[in-house]
Amino acid sequence: MGEKSENEARYTVRSLIATAIVAVIATVVVLEVSGRIDHADNKDNVPVGEFEAIHVTEGEEFRMSPKSSELHAVCEQGYLAIAADVDPDFRGIVVDYKNRGVRCSRAPEPEAAQEPGADE
């Protein structure tokens, strides 16, 4: 009974790991060749990151990490932009869920319409 049957598979752990690695590499190569992996050529419209707004009310505390995010906000053509501290030229405009830009300054109020006869 000490003999192993011929039908019993004799695989080493090393061969199983090598097979798994080859399978992953082959899958990536096949997906790349068939065009299923999409590489963005236009880096201008790639999202820089995801952000959340914390509602702040007078006198109410909010929780926030004490560490800095290594990003800073700048006003870019009237819209709020996020820029990296290490590369200030790398900026992304902050938009809402409908892809509308978030203003960093209020639009000037239209002047009140003058009533006729109120020239003086």
Judge if pTM exceeds 0.75.
no
Q: Can you tell me the distance from the alpha carbon of 14 to that of 19, in angstroms, rounded to the nearest whole number? A: 9
Q: Can you tell me the distance from the alpha carbon of 73 to that of 94, in angstroms, rounded to the nearest whole number? A: 9
pLDDT tens for the chain, residues 1 to 120: 555 555 556 778 889 999 999 999 999 999 999 988 877 666 666 666 777 788 888 888 888 888 888 888 888 889 998 888 888 778 888 888 888 889 987 656 555 544 555 454
Q: Can you tell me the distance from the alpha carbon of 81 to that of 88, in angstroms, rounded to the nearest whole number? A: 11
Helix (H) or strand (E) holding 93: strand 91-93
Q: Can you tell me the distance from the alpha carbon of 1 to that of 5, in angstroms, rounded to the nearest whole number? A: 10
